[in-house]
Amino acid sequence: MASPGSLLLGVNIDHAATLRQARYRSAPRTCGQMVEPDPVALALVAERAGADGITVHLREDRRHIQPRDVLRLRESISTRLNLEMACTPAMARFALEVRPDAVCIVPENRTEVTTEGGLDAVGISRRLGRVIERLHAAGIAVSLFIEPDSAQIEEAARLGAPFVELHTGAYANACFDTRRRPREFKRLYSGAEHAHALGLTVNAGHGINYVNIAEIRTLPHLHELNIGHSILSRALFTGIEEAVREMKARMNDK
């Protein structure tokens, strides 16, 4: 359980499913002992280690997380389920069926290896508005995964999304670039301040790791970070419990 004022951690478990699909892509939908690793079992251990929520991205090409994983998570986890999804009618129907605690709307491009760039909330404003309205009517909180740009932040506020998740990927990719990195950090800093001033709750994610967390955590008004790749990578060596505990400690400098 998070202590008051502490930064929350949503653990993204997509890559546990990536590993499973690498071997069992065409296996029956069974979750039997031989179909490993089971992302749901991993989520339960991550929760025990202090994860404040579990995040999964159900991609349209189903390359990692499967619909059944999301249904099983909904039934078994005791923290919050955050479903990342593209802004499509089919995904909205699925979210309304599963009823996650939160939906984070992300851009999706079938050729990308992982989510690249934030959502163009301005460009797909009408479509977003319809999906947000349906999800809110069902009591599902909506977050928009956007670049820390004024126009996108203002559109998120106008659409009534209570949360934004600021895309930290450009900052993370600039880690060795002594000119770009401070620039990207400044963009995130101003974006977080702007979003907060408009009444949005500020989350962040993508490319956050055990090193850059020292700087990321100094961004103002942060509520929750969604972190996947670095935690699962570390878990291969330490186990998921230690990997989650260590990230939470670094997030909150304890």
Q: Give the integer Cα–Cα distance in Å for 217 and 121.
A: 25
Q: Is it true that the peptide bond before 220 is cis, omega within 30 degrees of 0? A: no
The residues pairing with 58 across neighbouring beta strands, listed in sequence order, are none
Active site residue 57: yes
Q: Does 184 bind ligand PXP (CB under 6 A)?
A: no
Least Å distance, CB 205 to ligand PXP, is 3
Q: Give the integer Cα–Cα distance in Å for 178 and 201.
A: 30
Q: Does 104 bind ligand PXP (CB under 6 A)?
A: yes
Q: Which of 47, 84, 184, 224 is catalytic?
A: 84
Active site residue 64: no
Q: Does 57 bind ligand PXP (CB under 6 A)?
A: yes
Among 11, 207, 213, 224, binds ligand PXP (CB under 6 A): 207
Q: Where are the alpha helices (DSSP H) in 25-79?
A: 39-48, 67-76
Q: How many CB atoms lie within 10 A of CB 249?
A: 12
Number of residues that bind ligand PXP (CB under 6 A): 18
The residues pairing with 227 across neighbouring beta strands, listed in sequence order, are 11
Q: Does 226 bind ligand PXP (CB under 6 A)?
A: yes
Least Å distance, CB 221 to ligand PXP, is 17
Active site residue 229: no
Q: Does 206 bind ligand PXP (CB under 6 A)?
A: yes
Q: Which of 57, 64, 167, 194 is catalytic?
A: 57
Q: Give the integer Cα–Cα distance in Å for 240 and 219.
A: 26
DSSP state string for 107-139: ---TT-SS--S---TTTTHHHHHHHHHHHHHTT
Residue span binding ligand PXP (CB under 6 A) among the ranges 43-51, 95-103, 199-207, 246-254: 199-207
Q: Would you name the residues annotated as active-site residues? A: 57, 84, 206
Q: Which residues bind ligand PXP (CB under 6 A)?
A: 12, 57, 84, 104, 106, 114-115, 145, 165, 205-208, 226-230
